[in-house]
Chains A and B, each alone.
Chain A
Amino acid sequence: MAFSQAGAAYQMVTNGSSDSVAEIPKAPTGIGGLDQVTGGGLPRGRPTLVCGPAGCGKTLLAMEFIIRGITEYEEPGVFLAFEESAPDLIANVASLGFDLAKAQADGKLVIDHIDALSGEIEESGDWDLEGLFLRLGAAIDRVGAKRVAIDTIETLFGAFSNATIVRSELRRLFAWLKDRGVTAVITGERGEGTLTRFGIEEYVSDCVIVLDHRVTAQASTRRLRILKYRGSHHGTNEYPFLIGETGVSVLPITTFGLSHNVSEERMSTGVSRLDSMLGEGGFYRGSTVLVNGTSGTGKSTLAAQFCDATCRGGERAMYFAFEESEAEIVRNMRSVGIDLQQWVDAGLLKFRCLRPSLLGLEAHLFDVQKFVSDFEPAVVVKDPVSDLLRIGTEADVSAMLTRQVDFLKARGVTTLFTSLTAGTQPGRADQQLSSLVDTCLLVKTLEGNGELNRVLYVLKARGMAHSNQIREFLLTDHGIELADVYVGPQGVLTGSARQAQEALEVSDGQARAQDLEQRRVNLERRRESVEAQTAALWREFEDEADAVGRSLSHGNTGAEHVAGQRAEQGRLRQADAAEPSPAGAAVGVS
């Protein structure tokens, strides 16, 4: 009996975990990225603990949870503040574009500031925190709140000396919040060796989010981790998060998965020979392209020409430039016959020119996401990504670019990164990046005959029957052109050597043609002479055959003649007729 019950319970558990529909209901936070890493939001109707050190952004996260609830999900909220006053809070988030005063006036928000620490409080006998409950309950009822944020409840431990009562009352508070069915965010200050200074995490068991604030290589990064989420799957990584112009943004590392739609459609690179080198038609839409090359090899030009082709097709392109200003790029590209200004004017091309050091890595990632989300380009160019190494370690840059590639792929954006390599070795970022990208083009310079010439080849192109040949990369007054290089015993020839070789080939060809003609004439002559000789031989042969014929007929008559003569002689002699005579002569005699 006991076994069968246990079996049934086990069945239920496995059903619950295998069926995603059976997951607990969630309240979306509306905070960019957080809903992705939590698999849809915070546990609805339950308290969530958000803890971290001072200045990690927990107050803002809690506030944004309330604000997004009001603005995006029609869920009124209560913000119970123990630390900051209501005017301070309103001013703090006004810079992020949130109008709390209006939400309050509309009856959708209550900001209740409790100054728990004002004045000394004498304790005499037993007490409880019913005042807090009543006050919070009244606020919830006033606006019909579905969401509650309490920031920072642990202040109460400083206000009252009897920690035992505070503890038991907090336990009661979290149970009470659950009973009320509000989705709550409770913030806590991180303690020594514990998640929160007073260990309140033991009362909040449904969902615990830990925030952190770290400085590596002079760049500060905020990170978020979901420590626990009962009854739900969740991302376990540390996710960088940012406090940007529009509030908190969590940047999922792998949340996008590898499930983006794959397009068969090709996008022209703007260089027709390159299109044909890549099989037919150019890059796949939504793929990621890396153009690797040493300094001055025309990477930016290639990128600009791709943008130009995209805009020509009526689609939008976004150009993130880390080294040049918009005006510089437009001027420089005009010199090779690419007019980008027309596309800027037409609203099809947008530049974002920024030194990467101005933003941190995470801020940069967020910046790109924001612009891409707003502008919705078909093509994004980042020129060059190697500059990002100035503001982060290799691992950080590669992790950031991975997330960026995932983000862009998920949106079906075709991305072109350029990367500056020093010398012939692939750059630091490229090795990491190479496995990320679908197509990798290498542009490099070849030195020879006192010239530096550019060549391009396709290092890799996933899913394309691409050319394995090196092409000379020419910057002409009408953009990029690719020319065949001469490959011969002297190696790859480019530039004037290639032209010389071409000229050489032309004259060689002419010489060969003359030679061939000569040989043809010779052959004709030889044929004539052979024919003449053959005719002579035939004549000789015929003469001989005649002669033989003649001799044969001569021979027959001669024999008869001899026999006749002998018979005649016999007659004449009339002697012994029995004289042996050959053949017919004797017969003739008898």
Chain B
Amino acid sequence: MTRANEAWLSLVESDEVWSLRLYVAGQSPKSLQAFSNLTTLCEEHLTGRYEIEVIDLVEDPAMAEHDDVLAIPTLVRRIPAPPRKIIGDLSDTDRVLHGLRIGTGGP
């Protein structure tokens, strides 16, 4: 196991609060589905150390420029760095965990 991965494990296992941002478009089914799937997943894997910011692009389209968001829904892992993007309704939990690098090792 490399030193980077050791550091990463300690980070995942640390108490650092994960900052996640979910871009949605109004109350569309996919957006609602994504939010629901995300909270379930976070409760299970990041209990008590995550925060989710939901940004509705219908209300504030200019926010799309921040993370070059095109697809809806888009989940952005802001902290820990580096940022990572997962798109879709997050129904495939394995892919979300892989995208967030939870339990897989590596940044």
Contact = CB atoms under 8 A, between A and B. Distances in A.
Interface of A: 112, 114-116, 118-132, 134-135, 137-138, 156, 159-160
B57 A123 contact: no
Contact of B96 (A114, A115, A122, A135): A122
Given A123-B86, A127-B74, A130-B71, 20 more contacts: A118-B68, A120-B84, A122-B87, A122-B96, A122-B98, A124-B86, A124-B96, A125-B30, A125-B88, A125-B90, A125-B92, A127-B30, A127-B73, A127-B88, A131-B72, A132-B70, A134-B64, A135-B64, A135-B70, A160-B71
A130 B28 contact: yes
B46 interface: no
Residue with the highest number of chain B CB atoms closer than 10 Å, among A122, A124, A129: A124
- Nearest first, the 10 A-B pairs at minimum CB distance are A122-B99, A138-B61, A125-B91, A125-B88, A125-B89, A130-B72, A124-B95, A124-B88, A130-B25, A124-B92
Contacts of A115: 68
Contacts, number: 102
Contacts of B93: 124
A144 to B, nearest CB: 15
14 contacts: A122-B86, A122-B96, A123-B88, A124-B90, A125-B30, A125-B37, A125-B88, A125-B92, A127-B30, A127-B71, A127-B74, A129-B71, A138-B62, A156-B70
A331 B64 CA distance: 68
A248 to B, nearest CB: 29
A126 B74 contact: no
Given A116-B68, A126-B88, A127-B88, A135 B30 contact: no
A87 to B, nearest CB: 15
Contacts of B96: 122, 124
B48 interface: no
Nearest to B61: A138
B44 interface: no
Interface string B45-89: 000000000000110011011001111111000000011111111
Interface of B: 23, 25, 28, 30, 33-34, 37, 57-58, 61-62, 64-65, 68-74, 82-93, 95-96, 98-99
A306 B85 CA distance: 73
Contacts of B85: 119-122
A327 B23 CA distance: 70
A122 B87 CA distance: 6
A131 B70 contact: yes
Given A122-B99, A128-B30, A131-B25, A116 B92 contact: no
A136 to B, nearest CB: 9
Contacts of A126: 30, 88-89, 91
Contacts of A114: 68, 70
Contacts of B82: 119
A131 B86 CA distance: 14
Residue with the highest number of chain A CB atoms closer than 10 Å, among B68, B74, B96: B68
Contacts of B62: 138
A160 B85 CA distance: 12
A199 to B, nearest CB: 20
B68 A127 contact: no
Contacts of B34: 125
Contacts of A160: 71, 87
Contact of A122 (B58, B84, B91): B84
Nearest to A82: B70
Given A131-B70, A134-B57, A123 B25 contact: no
A131 B88 contact: no
B98 A129 contact: no
Nearest to A156: B70
Contacts of B61: 134-135, 137-138
A397 B39 CA distance: 71
A86 B77 CA distance: 26
Contacts of B84: 119-120, 122
A436 B55 CA distance: 68
Contacts of A131: 23, 25, 57, 64, 69-72, 74
